[in-house]
Amino acid sequence: MPAPVLFLHSSDEAFGSDRVMLALVDLALSQGRRVRVLLPDDSPPGWLTGQLQARGVQPRRAVLAPVRRRYLRPRALLPFAWSLLRAGAAIRAGAGQCPNAIIHVGSSSLVAAAALGRQRRRVVWHVQELQVSPRPLAWLLRVIPVVSAGHVVAISDYTAGELERSRLGRARVHRVYNGLPPPAATVTAARAPGAVRCAYVGRLQWRKGYDLFVEAAATVAARFSDTAFLVAGAPPPGEEWRAEALARRVAELGLSHRVEMLGMCHDVPALLQAVDIVVLPSRWPESFGLVMLEAMRAGCAVIATDHGAAPEIVRTGVSGLLVPPGDAEALAGAMAELVARPDTRQRLAREGQRRAGEAFSEDAFRSGVAAVWELASP
C-alpha cells in the first residue's frame, strides 16, 4: 500500500499554483494513495475546494498562516506572529494524525511548516513561487524550504538555482517542470478570421505588469483599429483598488471600447481558445509561468519578459517572443509585430504548441513528482 499524502496548500483559488495542487491530488489518487488536504482558514471556500470535493476529497481548513502582504503591515505583524505559532501547532497536529504520510507543502509561503522539525525526512516542499522584494523576506522564503524539508521540488532551473544559492540547505532539490495533459480535442494554432485579440491573464499585481499591458495596448490600438484587448484577472484581497485604478487608466487612454476587463477567470482554457496573443509582462522574474504554458498549448502566440524561467519555456523568435522586463515600448513593438504579421503569429503559435506538448508533458510532471514521493516515503 503506497504511503498516504498530506497536502498543505496556501490558497483556495484557480491560479496556477492551485491548478498544480489539484494535479498533484489527482496523481496521488491515481496511485491509490489516501489523501488529506489542509487549506488556510483566512479565506472562504473557493474553486479548489469545489474541485477537491468533486473528486471525493473533503479538505480541512486550519490556521496555516501563509505569508501574505496584508499580514506584513506594521499593525498586522503581532497578530500574524501569533498566527504562525498556532499554525505550527495545527500543522504538527495534522501530521500526527497521518503518521506515515508524505507531507507535501505546496508553497514557500507556508513557513509554519518548518515546525515539523524531525519529520523533515518525509516533507516534500514544492516551491512554486519566489519572492523578490523585500530582500530579507525573499531570502527567508528561499531558505526555509531547503533547511526544513527532506526534498524540495523546484519548478524550473531558475527556481532550483535560486534555492541552491543559499548554501544552507540540507534538502535535496529536484527540478520538475509543471506539465499539461494533452488537449481534449485537436487544437489548431490558426484562429477564426476577424479582429486579432490580445489578452493579459493573471492577477492584478504590480509585479505581474498588467498596467504595462494596457499602456502597450494604447500604442497598438492607435495603429490597428480592429485589434481587441482583454484583461482577465482580479487583484488580491484587500487590493480591489487596483481594478478601479486600471479601469480609470483605460478610460483616460480612450480604450474603454477596446479593452474588456473580465475580472477573475475560472475557465482559463476556454478563454485561451478565444484569443490570438497572450501577453505576460511580469516585472519580477517568474518561477515558471503556468499560464504561459497553457497559452502555448492552446495555440496562442506568447509574449513574455526575458527573465526568470521564461527563457526555459519560450525560445524567442521560435516559440514566442521575449521582451525586456518593465519596457512598455518594447512590449508594444512585439504586440504590433504579431498583429501586423499573421504568418509570424501563426508560426510562433504552432511551434509553441509543439514545444509545450513535447517538453512540458503531464506524464513527465507526474513521473518526476512520483519519483520524489518514493524517496520521501517512510
Tens of pLDDT, residues 216-233: 999 999 999 999 999 999
Question: Over 60: is that where the pLDDT of 259 sits?
Answer: yes
Q: What is the DSSP string of 117-133?
A: GGGGGGEEEEE-----S
- Residue 67, C-alpha cell as written in the block: 505569508
- Which SS3 state, helix, strand or coil, does residue 366 take? helix
Average pLDDT value over all residues in the chain: 93
pLDDT of residue 195: 85
CATH topology match: 5-179+361-376 vs 197-359: yes
pLDDT of residue 120: 82
CB 115 within 8 A of CB 91: yes
Tens of pLDDT, residues 131-148: 888 888 899 999 999 999
How far apart CA 21 and CA 105 sit, in angstroms, is 10
- Residue 116, C-alpha cell as written in the block: 515539523
- Average pLDDT estimate for 43-53: 95
How far apart CA 207 and CA 326 sit, in angstroms, is 9
- Average pLDDT estimate for 166-173: 75
- Residue 80, C-alpha cell as written in the block: 500574524
pLDDT of residue 193: 59
Percentage, residues of the chain above pLDDT 70: 96
Question: Over 60: is that where the pLDDT of 189 sits?
Answer: no
pLDDT of residue 167: 65
pLDDT of residue 190: 43
- Tallying the residues shown for the chain, one arrives at 378
Question: Over 90: is that where the pLDDT of 268 sits?
Answer: no
CATH number of 197-359: 3.40.50.2000
CA 50 vs CA 18, 55, 124, 166, 319: distances in Å: 12, 9, 25, 38, 35
How far apart CA 99 and CA 83 sit, in angstroms, is 24
Instruction: List the one residue out of 88, 83, 80 whose CA is nearest residue 105.
Output: 88
pLDDT of residue 378: 83
pLDDT of residue 333: 98
Q: What is the DSSP string of 35-63?
A: EEEEEESSS---HHHHHHHHTT---EEE-
Per domain, the residue ranges of the chain are 5-179+361-376, 197-359
Tens of pLDDT, residues 318-351: 999 999 999 999 999 999 999 999 999 999 999 9
CB 59 within 8 A of CB 106: no
Strand partners, 301: 277
Per-residue pLDDT band for 192 (boundaries 50, 70, 90) equals low
- Sheet-wide strand order for 5-8: 60-62, 35-40, 5-8, 102-105, 123-127, 151-154, 172-175
In sequence order, which residues have a C-beta less than 8 Å from that of residue 239 and are 6 or more positions away? 204, 205
pLDDT of residue 179: 94
How far apart CA 227 and CA 331 sit, in angstroms, is 15
Tens of pLDDT, residues 115-135: 998 788 899 999 999 988 888
pLDDT of residue 188: 47
Question: Over 70: is that where the pLDDT of 184 sits?
Answer: no
Q: Which of 65-69, 277-281, 315-319 has the lowest mean pLDDT?
A: 65-69
How far apart CA 365 and CA 27 sit, in angstroms, is 10
Question: Over 60: is that where the pLDDT of 191 sits?
Answer: no
pTM of structure:
0.90
Could you write out the three-class secondary structure of 264-316? Answer: CCCCHHHHHCCCCEEEECCCCCCCCCHHHHHHHHCCCEEEEECCCCHHHHCCE
Question: Over 90: is that where the pLDDT of 262 sits?
Answer: yes
CATH classification number, 5-179+361-376, choose in 3.40.50.2000, 3.30.70.600, 3.40.50.970, 1.10.1740.10: 3.40.50.2000
